[in-house]
Structures are given as structure tokens and as C-alpha cells.
Amino acid sequence: MDFIVEAARKAIQELYGADVPADVISLQETRKEFEGQVTIVVFPIVRYSKKNPAETAEDIGAYLQANVPEITAYNVVKGFLNLVLSTEYFLNIFHAHTLAASFGEIAPNGKRVMVEYSSPNTNKPLHLGHVRNNLLGYSVAELLKASGYDVIKVNLVNDRGIHICKSMLAWQKWGNGETPENSGLKGDHLVGKYYVIFDAEYKKEIKTLTEAGQSEEQAKKAAPLIVEAQQMLQKWEAGDQEVISLWEKMNGWVYDGFGITYANLGVDFDRFYYESNTYLLGKDNIQEGLDKGVFFKKEDGSVWIDLTADGLDEKLVLRADGTSVYITQDIGTAQLKQDDYQMDESIYVVGNEQDYHFKVLFLILDKLGKPWAKGLYHLSYGMVDLPSGKMKSREGTVVDADDLIAEMIETARQKTEELGKTNDFPEADKNELYRNIGLGALKYFLLKVEPKKRLLFDPNESIDFQGHTGPFIQYTHARIRSLLAKAEYQPGAELAGIELSETELDMLMLLSKYPQQIVDAAAAHSPAVMANYLFELAKAFNKFYHEIPPIVKTEAGPQKQFRLNICRVTGDVLKKGMSLLGIVVPERM
RNA sequence: GCCUCGGUAGCUCAGUUGGAUAGAGCAACGGUUUUCUAAACCGUGGGUCAGGGGUUCGAAUCCCUUCCGGGGUACCA
């Protein structure tokens, strides 16, 4: 639409003798209730024309109609100049761009970006909050890839620490040699079970101690179980063979379990980092910061950074005993990742509870003089809440990822069979279809919401399959594929003699927006942008589908071919767009 | 207390660099199938954009302020 901006500037130049910057010409889509497709808001121009808005709009409208062939008519409503573009203009774009095989492909931009997501703890299975993280991370990575980046997906696994030792200790004490094999339990669930047992036993001990007269705080520190877990952690850090091999065994179970969940969610990674390898990193950077005068040492030997000038607080970066805190490792790990991949940008997909942490981390790296610090971005997303509030694993109010996936697939099976649409499908196809629909509903439900907003999930209300949902878009795609097959669609197009209905024009305009939607969604780190666009497109298509006479029975000719082309491109865009959300669209459903 | 993110229809959510009478879906009610898949389409009702003030020709959008909710503010991660 740049040509309209340029033409309008020229109009102002010739009519009023003013050379205005491009941003004075504010274009927007014409609202449905008025005639035209593009609207110029004339208010900002009035100061140059020295006339009232209506007269200014009239002047410019007349000029544009006379001098720009694509503009065939105009009308003025208040301060808005609505422009009517020619049918040929839209058809030309459709033929030259939208119909091309390369439509929606964006050239590489030569930049590399890392997306770190998932980053689970290895002491319990994944829940709905992790699902949101995984889907967001995966989708943002796909969107960046599609918009021209070289993308590296990374998973930084939190595989060590006191929480891991808790599961290990409980298993050692009460496990009786239980394994995934002999219990039939998925590995991550088995380990999670012992984490819960630890917590229950620990609480009992605290209760006993407080009843014996100790304060809550004392009891929490003195309980034999926690003491033992801490000893185990020390042994782990010392490389104790027995502890290490138990740790390896149990983490192995968890990885097997996570692998299944990841495969079910359809997410993947190019590189795994493990905190057991990175937790000692960062101390060099602390020294570097001391040398540069960015950090300072207190009398007790602890190292701090003063961020009060930036509106934050003083922040500890190394304990008095010389051991690391969370941010110490993160400084070191950021350096490691940068050394490994030399990326231009690095995105951390982490919940908004860590907003402050990342603000501090990025600020520190910047103060350390890391040139790549500007490219760091915290993709902060809101928590998934239940109607009762936050999910709490200790209170058993978590929505388990594996359970939820299974339920969604089961619901998809029931709904599909009620509709009786798959009676003639082979069994294997049915199962694949139910998976795709169930996961499509789940993924779309989670991704259509703007990441930074918190998300409400009611386990008692099943996720919809109708309306603004994944299955709606999947259905639209399946219907298109079926239609193209019945019509024996062949590529090819003619420009001449085509008439455009209002809905067809809507389709052309919507379709042409697709490449820009990829870029916008990637730049905003927001799969929701893409999700909402695809819904709008599918909705418009269904309207189009209902309005036109049955294509299959229409006689051959340019108009029929034109409509089939709309179908084909819409199907392609829905398929490609949904794949950027990690959603598979079926050929039939 | 301080910092930060939210608050839009009964519910779940869109709303672009500030633009026209704030839009969808669900739920409710009514209609559409001898026509390519009715997981669809068409229609009806439903709003103090949390409240107040300000900037502007124009504010859901920007600024100030109050209220409500989430998160953070650890020598936890």
C-alpha cells in the first residue's frame, strides 16, 4: 500500500505545496459499513491544507482518483477518505503473489536466534504450565524460522539440586526397588511419586518436632530427612559413586518419560544443556565483574552489584562461602551459550514469576560489557490458573500433562464418533485423526491467548471443539481438501472476466496478509497473532463457501478456477500457519 | 511498603503507530441440510472498556491517580 502513501504525499505537494513526511499519511482498512478498502485519516493533514477535514479529504480524493489508476472511486465520511481500489488491482496481486508456490516464504535475514524453552526440573512430571511453556517456545521458534532467522532450540534441564535429592532419598528409603519396568509407571511419574512421598514424610517429621516444642523454622531445618537430603547433595557434589549412579538411574527414567511427553506434544530441541554441567559456571564472570568494578565485595566476602541507580536493589551474585546462587550460573550459562552459537538474539521462554530475575540478569550482562546483552529477551508468559487459583503440586491441584493429552484425544474420539464421520476410516487413520484433533484443540486453546496474559483453565469444562478453536480451523482445512479433490483441481489461472463478490474480495485481502502476519507474530514473539489471523481466515472462508454456488457442479471457466484457487491457497495457508503453531491439520475429518 | 503485569459482554478472549457507531467465540434464543463435510452458515439480545482526572480534533490504547487481582521484592530455583 506504499503507492497510496506516495500518491497522497504527491497530492498534498501539488494541492497545498507542502512536503509532508510519510507518517502523516495514516492508512487503515476501511470499516465494513463504508464503501472502499483503504482509508486515509485526514486529520493529520489538515494543518498542511489549512482547510477543514471534509474539504481536504475531497481535494485529495479527487486528485487520487484522477491520477492513480488503481483508485477508481472515493467517498468522504467525516474526516475519513475512503478509497475504492479496482478489481484488477486485487486480482493482479492475487495472481502475482498469493498464488505463487513461494507464497509465505520469507528470505533468510542472516540472523541467528536461540530459543530456550521447556527447561524442566527432573523431579516431577510435566503439568499444564509446562505445556504452555513448551507450546509457546516451539511455536515462537517456528515463527522465527519462518520469518527468516536461523533458529536454535535449546532445553536447559534442571537435573541437579536439593529437589532432585529428595526424590532420590525417598526412593532409596521406601522404593523397594520399584522401577518403571516392574511397576508400569511412566518414569517421570514414578520419580514424582517419590518426591511427593518425601514431602509427606518430611511434613510428619516437622510435626513431630514442633509438637516436641521446636519452632516451625527450627523443625524445618532439623528434620532428619532434610538433613539427609542435604548430605546426599553434598555427596553428589563430591562425586560419590553410589549417589551419582542412583542419580543417573532416576534421571534416566525421567528423561524417558519426558521424551514421551515431548513426542506427544510434538516439540523438539536442537541442543540440551544440563545444569549438572553448568552449575559451576559464572564464577569467572564474577571475577571479571570485580576487576571491572561492576561488582563489589562485602566484608563477609559475598559479592554484590548495586542496581539502585537503575531503580532496582542491591543484588547478591556470589555467596560469602564462595558458592553460586541462581544468577551466578545464569551469567555463566549465558556466556557459554553465546560462545557455542554466537547468536544475534537469545530468547528465554520463562514464566512471569521470574521477570525480576531476568531484568537483573540482562542488566548485569550489559554492565559486564557483553555486546550481545542487547539481544537477550525474556519471553515472559502468565501462569495457567485453575478456578481455585494457582496450581500447586504439593496440594495435588496440578493438571498433569500426560493425563490432559490423553483426555483431549479421548474427547476428540467421542465427538468424532458421535458425528459418525470416520466410520469408513481405517483404524490407524482414526487414531491419528483423534490425536491431531485432540491436540489441535489443546494447543490452539493455549496459544490463542496473548503470552503475557494469565490463562484460566477449568478442568470441569472441557475445551471446546466449536467456534474459535483448533478443530474449527482443522475442519475448514479438511473441507477444502475434500472439495479440491472432488473438483479435480488443477493449478492455473486467468485474469480476464472475473467478478469479485464482497466476500471474495475479503478473501483476497485476508490471504495477502499472511506473510506479514508471520513477520508480525515473530517480532511480537506471539503465536496468538498467528492463531487469531488463521481463525479470521477460516471464518471468512466458511462464509465464502456458503455463499457461492457448489463449485463442483459449476461449469468450467475462469470464475470457477478463480474460486478453486481461493480454496487452494486458503487450504495451504491454514496448513502452513497451523504448523507454525505446532498443529497438524488433517486431510479428512 | 516498593517494583511489575493484568482488569474489555454472563464466561473465555481479540482490538495495529491513538482514529469512524469497541469486535469474535461460548452460553441463551430463532432460522438454514433433495446443493461440494451442519465440528458449518445466517440472525436476535447482551458493554459505565474497573473508577476518576488529564493530554488530543479524536483515548480501550498515552500520562496521573484510586480500587481489585496475579507475580516479584531470599546468601531458593
Each residue of A122-138: pLDDT tens digit?
999 999 999 999 999 99
Q: Is the CB of A410 under 7 A from strand B?
A: no
Residues 239-278 in A having a C-beta less than 7 A from any atom of strand B are 275
Q: Which amino acid is at A402?
A: D
Taking only the tens of pLDDT, chain A with its 589 residues reads 789 999 999 999 999 999 998 888 989 999 888 899 999 999 999 989 989 999 999 999 999 999 999 999 999 998 899 999 999 999 999 999 999 999 999 999 999 999 999 999 999 999 999 999 999 999 999 999 999 999 999 999 999 999 999 999 999 999 999 999 999 999 999 999 999 999 999 999 999 998 988 888 888 888 999 999 999 999 999 999 999 999 999 999 999 999 999 999 999 999 999 999 999 999 999 999 999 999 999 989 999 999 888 878 889 999 998 888 989 999 999 999 999 999 999 999 999 999 999 999 999 999 999 999 999 999 999 989 887 777 877 667 789 999 999 999 999 999 999 998 888 899 999 999 999 999 999 999 999 999 999 888 888 788 999 999 999 999 999 999 999 999 999 998 888 889 899 899 999 999 999 999 999 999 999 999 999 999 999 999 999 999 999 999 998 899 999 999 999 999 999 999 999 999 999 999 9
Beta bridge partners of A548: none
Instruction: Report if residue A499 sits inside a domain.
Output: yes
Q: What is the CATH number of the domain that holds A555?
A: 1.10.730.10
Please state whether beta strands A271-274 and A150-157 pair in parallel, antiparallel, or not at all (unpaired).
parallel
Q: What is the reported pLDDT for A394?
A: 66
Which residue is nearest nucleotide B19, judged by alpha carbon to C1' distance? A41
Which residues form the domain of A219?
A: 161-274
Q: Is residue A393 part of a domain?
A: no
Return the nearest residue to B24, CA–C1': A468
Gap from A146 CA to B46 C1', Å: 41
For residue A60, being part of any structural domain is answered with yes
> At what angle are helices A241-265 and A401-419 packed, to 10 degrees?
20
Q: How many Cβ atoms from other residues are within 10 Å of residue A281's Cβ? A: 19
- Count CB-CB contacts under 10 A for residue A418: 8
Are residues A174 and A40 part of one domain? no
Instruction: Note the pLDDT tens digit of each residue in A552-564.
Output: 999 889 999 999 9
Q: Tell me the per-residue pLDDT of A420-462, one tens digit each, with 9 for 90 and over.
A: 888 889 999 999 999 999 999 999 999 999 999 988 888 878 8
Match 521477570 to its residue by C-alpha cell.
A355
* Residue where a domain stops, chosen among A274, A309, A335: A274
Domain-terminating residue out of A29, A60, A85: A85
Are A168 and A268 part of one and the same domain? yes
Instruction: Establish if A240 belongs to a structural domain.
Output: yes
The CATH number of whichever domain residue A59 belongs to comes to 3.30.1360.70
Q: In this structure, are A558 and A452 located in the same domain?
A: yes
Q: Is residue A336 part of a domain?
A: no
**Nearest CA to A583 among A507, A428, A477, A480?**
A477
C-alpha cell at A180: 518403571
Do residues A77 and A210 share a domain?
A: no
Residues A551 and A437 in one domain: yes
Whether A308 is in a domain gets the answer no
Is residue A539's beta carbon less than 7 angstroms from any atom in nucleic acid strand B?
Answer: yes
Q: Are residues A80 and A174 in the same domain?
A: no
In chain A, residues 291 through 350 whose Cβ sits under 7 angstroms from any atom of nucleic acid strand B? 298, 300, 302, 311, 313, 316, 319-321, 324-326
Residues 185-214 of chain A: which lie with beta carbon within 7 Å of strand B? none
End of a domain among A50, A85, A120? A85
Distance in Å from B5's C1' to A384's CA comes to 14
Residue nearest to nucleotide B7 (CA to C1'): A453
Question: For strand B, is any atom closer than 7 Å to the CB of A468?
Answer: yes
Same structural domain for residues A572 and A480?
A: yes
Which residues 489-528 of chain A have a CB under 7 Å from nucleic chain B?
Answer: 528
Considering its fold, how many domains does chain A have in total?
3
Distance CA A303, CA A319 (A): 7
Give the number of other CB atoms < 10 A from CB of residue A39: 21
Task: Note whether A435 and A570 are same-domain residues.
Answer: yes
pLDDT at A241: 95
Cross-strand bridge partners of residue A303: A297, A318
Q: Where are the beta strands (DSSP E) in A235-366?
A: 271-274, 296-297, 303-306, 314-318, 345-351
**Residue of A473, A423, A487 lying closest to A443 (CA atoms):** A473
A438 in any annotated domain: yes
Statement to judge: residues A171 and A51 lie in one domain: no
- What CA–CA distance (Å, rounded) separates A534 from A511? 10
Same domain? A75 vs A171: no
Whole-Å CA distances, A118 to A133, A192, A261, A479: 6, 17, 12, 35
Tell me whether residue A371 is in a domain: no
Which 8-state DSSP code applies to residue A469?
S
Say yes or no: A178 and A78 in one domain. no
Q: Are residues A450 and A550 in the same domain?
A: yes
